[in-house]
Structure 1
Amino acid sequence: METTGQATVISNKTLWGGWILSGLVIAFLIFDFGIKLVPLDIVLKSLAELGYPDTVAMGRGLGILLMICTVLYAIPRTSILGAILLTGYLGGAIATQLRVGNPLFSHLLFGVYLGLMVWGGLYLRDPRVRALIPFRGMDD
């Protein structure tokens, strides 16, 4: 068990669950910013389809931004800042999907699903977030 300053106790199951959920998100985001940094042809094609300039600089710029947000999220001391920044990044992705009229559940809400995983993983592993949103019965 992990204990913090104000007698907040997180069970090992909950802590592991949080790190696993966060790890899945981090792994996906590493893949995503990796293909943007290269950038692959599919990234340039997708940028054009979404109405953005299909330039290498645009793909790399998005990749660098996502990499910074992901690294901040992965480091425990800066994870809340990283989650906030990722929420903004995902909000832009959702707005873009809405603007071009992509399907609701597969495209538009994907950013919502990922955002829920970002904050869900952080909630399970970080007592500071748990103190802000106290659900009962989470450490069973």
Structure 2
Amino acid sequence: MTVIAETLPASTHARWVGRILSGLVIVFLMFDGAIKLVPWPIVTETMDRMGYGSSDALMRGLGAISIVCTVLYAIPPTSILGAILLTGYLGGAIASHVRIGSPLFTHTLFGLYLGLMLWGGLWLRDRNLQGLIPFRR
């Protein structure tokens, strides 16, 4: 393992870490969107506790938006657009949790954690984004 690590350039490692982070975000958001498409009682109860009522139509709409934005993020030519749209979606989730007084580190900031993984993964795997958002040493 160390022999392989020594022969690969650092950018290859960064790209793989970015792909893994992005993959985790994609899997989570696709699952999250999919469970909103199915009217499971736990999902409708959670939406009701968040103050949105138990509307199946609203839940399915949010699920569809989440899936479409995640697919845009997963496709390399549209990944930055998907990341921007998902940032807005996650910001809405954070605002909802702030409004109902959810626990800070586990619920409210979960959207921030996911957003950091989303943008971090994209930054590590996309050289164009690295040029737009450079980090100096």
TM-score, length of structure 2 as denominator length: 0.90
For 2:10 and 2:96, the matched residues in 1 are separated by: 38
Which structure has the highest helix share of the two?
A: 2
Stretches of structure 1 that go unaligned for 5 or more consecutive residues are: 1-8
Q: Mean alpha-carbon deviation: is it higher for 9-18 or for 101-110?
A: 9-18
CA distance in 1, matches of 2:26, 2:40: 20
The answer to whether residue 38 in structure 2 is matched with residue 43 in structure 1 is: no
Report if aligned partners of 1:16, 1:125 keep a CA contact under 8 Å in 2. yes
Alpha-carbon distance between aligned partners in 1 of 2:97 and 2:19, rounded to the nearest angstrom: 29
- Matched position secondary structure for 2:135: coil
CA distance in 1, matches of 2:127, 2:43: 37
Deviations 1:40-78 (A, max 9, x none): 111100010000021111110000000010000000000
User: In percent, how many aligned pairs have the same letter?
Assistant: 62
- How far apart, in 2, do the equivalents of 1:136 and 1:14 lie? 16
**Displacement over 2 Å in runs of 4+:** none
> Within 2, Cα distance between the matches of 1:128 and 1:37?
34
Whether 1:122 and 2:122 are equivalent positions in the alignment is yes
What TM-score do you get using the length of structure 1 for normalisation?
A: 0.88
Q: Residue 21 of structure 1: SS of its match in structure 2?
A: helix
Residue 10 of structure 1: how far off its partner (Å): 7.3
**Paired positions, count:** 129
Where does residue 134 of structure 1 map in the other structure? 134
- 1:127 is displaced (CA, Å) by 1.0
Instruction: Extract unaligned runs of 5+ from structure 2.
Output: 1-8
Q: Which residue in 2 is equivalent to 1:3? A: none
**What is the root-mean-square deviation in Å for CA atoms of aligned residues?**
1.4
In the TM superposition, what are the counterparts of 1:1-140 in structure 2 within 5 Å?
Answer: 11-136=11-136
